Structure 1
Amino acid sequence: MTRVPLHIAVDLVFFTGKKGGAETYVRGVFPALAAAHDDLRFVGIGNRELAANPPDWFPGEVVPLPVSGENRVQWALAEAFAVAVKAKSIKADLLHCPANFGPSVRLLPTLVSVLDVLPIKHPEWVPGGRAKAVQLLSRASARAATRIHTISDASADDIVALLGRSRSDIDMIHLGSDQVEPGKRVERAGRPYVLTGGNRMPHKNHGRLLEAWASIPAAERPKLVITGSHGDDPLAPLVRDLGLEDDVDLHGWVTAEELADLYEGASAYVFPTLFEGFGLPVVEAMARGCPVVGSDIPVLREVGGDDMVYVDPYDTASIAAGVRKVVADPVLRETLSAAGLKRAAQFTWQRTADAHAEVYRKMVGR
């Protein structure tokens, strides 16, 4: 008997290609879903820009809403009030909202991916006075969702505590990473460098990282390469104030190919974050054979296991000591690189996709 395809609408109104983690997630999971699950059919509900230039990674048509993905207010309101109406109108069996927000009223079975609860747990870290509005949208989405998907046990615990949903309503599915076959790492000639990235929100802790860098004796201070900013980097004044102009490369936004090359040549990836929903850069660095120095917080212990060097993200001396330890010891780097490759192999997009498919089918009783 031929199976009737399950018709899934995917909320892509947020997508611009410049928003980091949530976009990495959808670019990874939907091609893997399409490759292995022929009973699933996808249609994207996008913004004007996305519909005009449909992405090659999405396995289906993208239908537009009359909003701009560059306008935060427009796309947030569209997610709350318009996406479900559009999904219903195209006769979708299920709506998946993969970027924290979803409809304020449920019109069809709806899965909302709550990637983290930072605006509720740490509103002081939300810039631009947006915390209250984001909290309202987050709470309304969580109440209306049929089920909630999240990406770590640490985030699931936060959702239960702060959004009031039962653990039985939550599907925890870890993110994946691109599985590559890196060659043997060869130290590049010249001054070693350490890589880091992320947006410039306070919880990424770039300020303490730069202060830690300034505390490393100049004779043994590696270069620090920081990716992830658009336009004028807000870290530039602090770099100048700390006298680190020759020691820090504010590299800006990079392509996937450029980032892969940076991982390959780095002595380490440093990730002194104060809060994460998952910690995707840890897995991405490990998948490239790059040793990781990161924060000793529960979610990174969940992701990184025993295969990275942990530091206290609130202590600049601890951050500096962790970096110096790895950069100075080639045997440790080799050990961390090999262990990290094995660890990263546990986090594949296909495994993530297969678990999503199970949730979709469960939600519609298949």
Structure 2
Amino acid sequence: MRPLKIIIDAQMPGDGTAGGVQHFTASLVSALGRLPDGPEEYIIVGPRHGSDWLYPLLGPNQRLVTGPASLSGGVQCCRRLLGYLGLSLDRLYRGLQRAVNRPLFSPRVRQSSGFYESLGGNIIHFPHQQFVATGLPAIYNPHDLQHLHYPEFFTKHELAQLDVTYRVACETSASVAAASMAVKEDVSTSLHINPDKIQVIVLGPPTELYQSIDQEDLLRTGNKFRLPDSFVLYPAQTWPHKNHLRLLEAIALLKSKHGLVIRLICTGNKNFYWPTIEAAIRTLELSDQVSFPGFVSTNELQALYRLARFVVFPSLFEAGGFPVIEALRAGAPLACSDIAPLREYAGQAALFMDARSAESIADAMVALTTDHTLRSSLREKGHEWARRFTWSATARAYRALYRKAAGKELDDDDLGYLHRNGMGPEPEAQAGGAP
């Protein structure tokens, strides 16, 4: 019997600009390649230019091909060139869109030219928000519907394109994958998609798949970023919904109201919104308290989690929130937004706050700064709770979903992973599956 061949479209840059979507895609490819059983083969489609970041992730059952030349390749070249000049293509383009105040192009869903079908796969998975209509059964990850809840963070063109893409992709795909029950309910309600078509698959922390660090890594990271003895970490790209502005207001409030000077380290790619954040730092006079080192290596990120007094995650909108489970796994006390997906991923192991209120964020930071008992309690709860999230379980669930989409018969282990819609014990304990 011929093995099932799955195409995974990973056409995105490996420089951190894709944010959590890149971490998700990289972790999924790596975890699927590490599964010790199963006859499946995976065809990973990387970008025409800059696919090198995918090679170290590949397992023995995976091969990498590059996608067809397209406008996106030219866009990446322009982005790199403008970066050398200290300019941002995204900022220039978004500025033009807002000035015109209407979509620059008619929104549409791309049609396959035959490239994907020529690869010999049985199904195709789009682990990012882009979608191409092909002749193959598709798995689609919309990740979240932020554009419907916070349209002010998008241009008119982006809103129009996202609306068309998400609706067509969710309606025509064999299955829609969601990282949380909150996302499933939102997609079902907002896009009128049959909930039976939406499969919740809980994600593991990307840091689980990274090379372990040692004391030398901690020392190198501390020296490189000149870390103070006590600092707070916020790992997030500078998207508007990541809420850096309100976090900065909370930092300023702590100093003026409580006399509490907190050092904040914010990692993540600096995108088009960075100049707005930079201006707020100057206005609030926080230059000596706040540092934005940009995109950091996997070793440096792990070290920062380990060295931080606590992690703060005040995002306004999330599908699941990798930093939440990464912080818990690293043993870092966590304060995060009180929103449904983060409630699912953090359980009782975090201090929740109203991310729309600088006062609420400040109060949470005061509590975690001054209350050693609270930090110890959250650290202990976090370690235990984080054991529920593994990429082995995530990969097995996606493999079961691939088999289902291809019309394959599912065994008890497959059904066990697909039935894990909540944050309960892993299916190994329920169905007797291999780890």
TM-score exceeds 0.5:
yes
79-88 or 39-48, which moves further after superposition?
Answer: 79-88
From 286, 310, 333, the equivalent of 1:244 is 286
**Do residues 192 (structure 1) and 233 (structure 2) align?**
no
Q: Which residue matches 1:212?
A: 250
Deviation track 1:263-292 (CA, whole Å, cap 9, x = no partner) reads 111111101111101111100111111111
1:230, 1:200 → 2: CA distance? Answer: 6
Q: How much does 1:71 deviate? A: 2.6
Q: Is the 8 A contact 1:126 1:201 kept in 2?
A: no
What RMSD in Å do the two structures reach over aligned CA positions?
A: 2.7
User: Where does 1:103-114 land on structure 2 (aligned, <5 Å)?
Assistant: 103=132, 105-114=133-142
- Unaligned runs of at least 5 residues, structure 2: 79-105, 409-435
- Unaligned runs of at least 5 residues, structure 1: none
1:243, 1:8 → 2: CA distance? Answer: 52
Q: What code does the residue aligned with 1:212 have?
A: A
**Do residues 225 (structure 1) and 253 (structure 2) align?**
no
Q: Which residue matches 1:35?
A: 34
- Secondary structure in structure 2 of the residue aligned to 1:275: coil
Q: Is the 8 A contact 1:106 1:145 kept in 2?
A: no
1:70, 1:336 → 2: CA distance? Answer: 47
Matched positions, count = 358
Give the TM-score normalised by structure 1: 0.90
Q: What code does the residue aligned with 1:328 have?
A: T
Q: Which residue matches 2:117?
A: 88
2:44, 2:13 → 1: CA distance? Answer: 11
Change (3 A) 1:324 1:134: same
- Secondary structure in structure 1 of the residue aligned to 2:292: strand
1:328, 1:93 → 2: CA distance? Answer: 56
User: Where does 1:179-328 land on structure 2 (aligned, <5 Å)?
Assistant: 179=208, 191-217=229-255, 219-230=259-270, 233-234=274-275, 235-328=277-370
From 99, 111, 120, the equivalent of 2:128 is 99
Q: Is the 8 A contact 2:202 2:389 kept in 1?
A: yes
Deviation track 1:11-45 (CA, whole Å, cap 9, x = no partner) reads 11234332111111111122221222441111122
241-250 or 219-228, which moves further after superposition?
Answer: 219-228
2:41, 2:184 → 1: CA distance? Answer: 28
Q: What code does the residue aligned with 2:30 have?
A: P
**Do residues 4 (structure 1) and 46 (structure 2) align?**
no
Q: Which residue matches 2:196?
A: 168
- Secondary structure in structure 1 of the residue aligned to 2:316: coil
Q: Is the 8 A contact 1:46 1:65 kept in 2?
A: no
Q: Which residue matches 1:360?
A: 402
Q: How much does 1:190 deviate? A: 5.1
275-284 or 214-223, which moves further after superposition?
Answer: 214-223
Q: Is the 8 A contact 2:176 2:198 kept in 1?
A: yes
Q: Which residue matches 2:57?
A: 57
**Do residues 26 (structure 1) and 25 (structure 2) align?**
yes
